[in-house]
Amino acid sequence: MTATPDLRTPQLASPDLLRSVFRRHAAGVAVITAPGAGGPVGFTATSLTSVSAEPPVVSFGIGLGASSWPAISESDHIGVHILGEHQQELAATFATSGADRFGASTRWRKGPEGVPVLDDVLAWLVCRVVARVPAGDHRIVLAEVVLGDPSGAGRPLLYHQGRFNGLRD
């Protein structure tokens, strides 16, 4: 039996309310990469969404204060990488401000259109940026898929309750 929501104690809209609600929403974990003037950039994203099949378009959100935003704001192409449950450390590296994201522990190569492509992921895409839509303190990036590889092995990495997790049977 499910509990009836208590409508007497709603919280007013706030960043904390949104964060609290979305901690309960399990999301797949991706890393978005782009070439940058000072070298490759990237960040961990849980906002990745398939938008359209014809043409194939994806979207993700990025904060205007993110260290990767200047490169993403100017790049014509970005990389999308679906992480496996074996990549919790990689997800944490790309989520940590100031981390050496493309240092010795990150295996990657320069891919099509100069996009950094991470090794050993479940799947990856190279996409052409088609729009950057204002959304509060973020931008929603829409990107059309150019090419990719869905052949990685393993199970997906998830983010839930503020932690990286694997699927449970």
Per-residue tens of pLDDT for the chain, all 169 residues? 667 777 777 888 888 898 888 888 999 999 999 999 999 999 999 999 999 999 999 999 999 999 999 999 999 999 999 999 999 999 999 999 999 999 999 999 999 999 999 999 999 999 999 999 999 999 999 999 999 999 999 999 999 999 999 988 7
Q: How crowded is residue 69: how many other Cβ atoms within 10 Å of its Cβ?
A: 18
DSSP E strands, 35-107: 41-45, 49-53, 56-63, 77-82
Q: What global pTM score does this model have?
A: 0.92
Q: What is the dihedral of CA 122, 126, 132, 138, to 10 degrees?
A: 30
